[in-house]
A = this chain, B = another copy of it.
Amino acid sequence: MEGFGDYLRKVREQRRSSDATFSVRQLASRVGVEPSYLSKVERGQQPPPSEKTIAALASELDEDADVLLALAGKVSGDLQSIIRRRPKLFADLIRQLKDMPDHAVLRLVREVRDGEW
């Protein structure tokens, strides 16, 4: 399976092909980490960074933070805090949706969003 590092490198190289400021060094600088650290993360020599750093990466690379966090084996703190406010409710719902096909969950998302229920 493609890990966090592989994906990160792929996306960054992609961006770099049309924008030289997406070098390891410059991206690292904008994100607020050392270049060697970012390099190691991309090559899987270091585990994925903290949520904060991942969020900065997502923002710079114009990627979805939740997807990046997922690849890093994490779930964003704000989602967690929503769940923690009503643990039983959300735990039940999420476990029930576990094996539902994507389109079914998506339909639910849309129905809630559009207030058609």
Interface residues of A (CB under 8 A from B): 64, 66-67, 69-70, 73-76, 78-80, 82-98, 100, 102, 105-106, 108-109, 112-113, 117
**Across-interface contacts of A100 in B (CB, < 8 A):** 112
Contacting A108 at CB < 8 Å: which of B64, B66, B87, B93?
B93
| A102–B87 CA distance with the chains assembled, in angstroms | 11
- Interface of A: prevailing SS: helix
Interface contact B108-A108, CB-CB below 8 Å? yes
Quick one: closest B residue to A113, CB to CB?
B96
Interface contact A108-B112, CB-CB below 8 Å? yes
Interface contact A82-B64, CB-CB below 8 Å? no
Given contacts A75-B80, A96-B109, A113-B96, is CB(A64)–CB(B90) below 8 Å?
no
Interface contact B109-A87, CB-CB below 8 Å? no
Interface contact B79-A67, CB-CB below 8 Å? no
